[in-house]
Amino acid sequence: MSGVMKRMGMIFRAKANKALDRAEDPRETLDYSYQKQLELLQKVRRGVADVATSRKRLELQLNQLQGQSAKLEDQGRKALALGREDLAREALSRRASLQQQVSDLEVQHQTLQGEEEKLTLAAQRLQAKVDAFRTKKETIKATYTAAQAQTRIAESFSGISEEMSDVGLAIQRAEDKTAQLQARAGAIDELLASGALDDQSGLGSKDDIQAELDRLSGGTDVELELQRMKAELAGGPSAQQQAIEGGAQGNAQQPQTQHRFDKQ
Amino acid sequence: MIVRIMGEGQLDVADSHFAQLNKLDDELLAEMEGGDEEGFRRTLGALLEAVRRLGAPLPDDALEPSELILPGPDASLDEVRQMLRDDGLIPG
């Protein structure tokens, strides 16, 4: 497959891997974002604590003022009992101004309490959101890791298959070459045998010599055979002599023919 | 095999269909290399049609790497040629 589909796929994968490798790891970004959210939550919680502290301080002040107010009321009653109406009046007027402060503080206290409740609620909501983000972040990270692994697997798979086809091609080439050489060797053998091609190697000339030797030794055999037969004939009848003579001739030719075949 | 049509999504096409698709794909490559815009458009249309017909669409949230990628139906010959050049797609 070498068409547009395959080529585009290959280019895409190469580019995607490069982009994936180079780009900032989204998992780090997610972790960073989570860290930031935790910091924000921390700030809100600190805010809630600050408001609560202010509220407590107001409550202390209120207690103090109410204590003072009670004391002034007591003093006024005592002054009146002692017949010091002017002193009693003074104590009561001071108590009145304290009462004013108390009611002011009570309004502030209520405002702060409302503020605190709102902040606490916000912190709880934020906490829930951060928790949800943490879950989502872990899911995204896992998905990303899986996608990355898949890309790597695809990459190594395609690499392996390419290598395998390379090896296959090499084997194919080696086989082709062997077959070619074998075919050529066979052809040369045939040509040499038929005599169309002269054998330039030393083997050929040696064979020529061997052939000559064979012929010579073949001739010697014939001579020896003839001599042996002649010796036999010297003592045999004439009818037998003719038959043996024919057979001897056949025998004498046989080794020569065989040698010629052997050479080939 | 997972085939992506750019701008459309991924389809799972059975391997048995690839002989058929390859023919169109090779034609498309030849037309692209030959600069035959009209033939390119016709063959691309036929190839996309065949992939859509033979393939089963993958769900949008599936995470499968595409083994083959096809340009979208409105891609021009020049755009595809640009993409197939070594430095196309995602530059750098």
Chain A CB contacts of B21 below 8 Å:
5
pLDDT given at position A234:
80
Nearest to A15 among B3, B47, B90 (CB): B90
* A33 vs A237 pLDDT, higher one: A33
Query: B48 to chain A: nearest residue by CA?
Result: A5
**∠ at Cα A140 (A137, A145), nearest 5°?**
125
Which CA distances in Å does A61 have to A65, A66, A95, A103?
A: 6, 8, 15, 12
Q: What percent of chain B has pLDDT over 90?
A: 24
Q: Residue B89 — left, alpha, or beta (φ > 0 → left; ψ -120 to 50 → alpha)?
A: left
Look at A98-112, A205-219, B17-31 and tell me which has the smallest mean pLDDT.
Answer: A205-219
Q: Are the beta carbons of A8 and B71 separated by less than 8 Å? A: yes
pTM over 0.80? The answer is: no
Nearest to A9 among B28, B63, B69 (CB): B69
pLDDT band at A173 (very low <50, low <70, confident <90, very high): low
- Does B78 lie at the interface with A, CB-CB under 8 angstroms? no
Q: Name the amino acid, one letter, at B3.
A: V
Chain B CB contacts of A143 below 8 Å:
63
Q: Are A87 and A106 in contact (CB under 8 A)?
A: no
Q: What percent of chain A has pLDDT over 90?
A: 12
Phi and psi dihedrals of B68, rounded to 5? Answer: -130, 145
The count of other CB atoms within 10 Å of the CB of residue A8 is 22
Instruction: Tell which residue, A220, A244, A222, has the closest CA to residue A234.
Output: A244
Chain A CB contacts of B3 below 8 Å:
5
Query: A153 to chain B: nearest residue by CA?
Result: B65
The yes-or-no verdict on residue A263 having pLDDT over 70 is: no
This model of the complex carries an ipTM of: 0.74
